[in-house]
Amino acid sequence: MLESIDQLIDEVVSVVEATCGTQGVSKKDISKKQDNSFVTELDLGLSRKIKSFFSQDEKFKDWNFYCEEDHGELSFPAIVLDPIDGTRELVKGLGECAVSLALMPTPELSEGFGLIFNPFTGMLIHTDQPFVAPSKVLEPPLVGLVSRSEWGKGYYQGFIVDEVNLIPRGSIAFKLGLLAVGSCDFVYSMRPKNIWDIAAGSILLNNRGFNFYDSKGNKVSSLGTKKYDGPMMWAKEETYTRVIDQLG
């Protein structure tokens, strides 16, 4: 769906280099929003750059731009963006963050385009990339990625999960990208997520045969609302069936 991926990535990298380079985000470029979460000049700069990128493409002239730093009502077709998911980790100087971009002609996951890019590691995955699905899953021990902040608050203290290793990582978008490239077996999150956090990753994973399970255990096939309650999980069906009773 996106023909000029290389140009977009080059523009993202140029903003990152100009804003923080290899030294990280300067304290003067960090502020807090009304909800007490961090926002940086990198978040704002990428939001402006990516919005400008699509505004110059005639194909997207009637699309709604719905971004963490620039949003109103959610309507489709939509460009759904989190310019940097994992700002908390970015502020700490960690590379556990990602640009999360979804192009959604409709709310249906099967019809969307998802892109996750980590400008600090070079990890890039999108739905236009060809792939061959592995023939085998469920080789123990399974690896599940969970929220670094939830882990730090003790949400998983005392969990005894048979033949499963739970590992904390920042940024839900980054974790979903890691799942899509085969670096883990599932992603689990207890707290609510906004659509810009999970749209790109959910589209990518749907494209690769993974399911998004909501707090009631239902498979989510479309994203038409702004926010989703936890707990939630992304996994192949066999994996979900095997571990959910130990996590829920």
CA angle 156, 241, 128 (to 5 degrees): 95
What does the pLDDT read at residue 140? 87
Tokens standing for residue 180: 């899509």
Instruction: Encode the chain (248 residues) as per-residue pLDDT tens digits.
Output: 888 999 999 999 999 888 886 666 665 556 655 555 656 788 899 999 999 999 999 999 999 999 988 888 999 999 999 999 988 888 788 889 999 999 999 999 999 999 999 999 999 999 999 999 888 777 889 999 999 999 999 999 888 788 899 999 999 999 999 999 999 999 999 999 999 999 999 999 999 999 999 999 999 999 999 999 999 999 999 999 999 988 86
Tokens standing for residue 107: 């709310």
Is 142-247 in CATH node 2.160.10.10?
Answer: no
What does the pLDDT read at residue 88? 82
What does the pLDDT read at residue 23? 64
Domain ranges of the chain: 5-126, 142-247
Do 5-126 and 142-247 share a fold? no
124 strand-pairing partners: 117
For the domain made up of 5-126, the CATH class stated in words is alpha beta
What does the pLDDT read at residue 89? 84
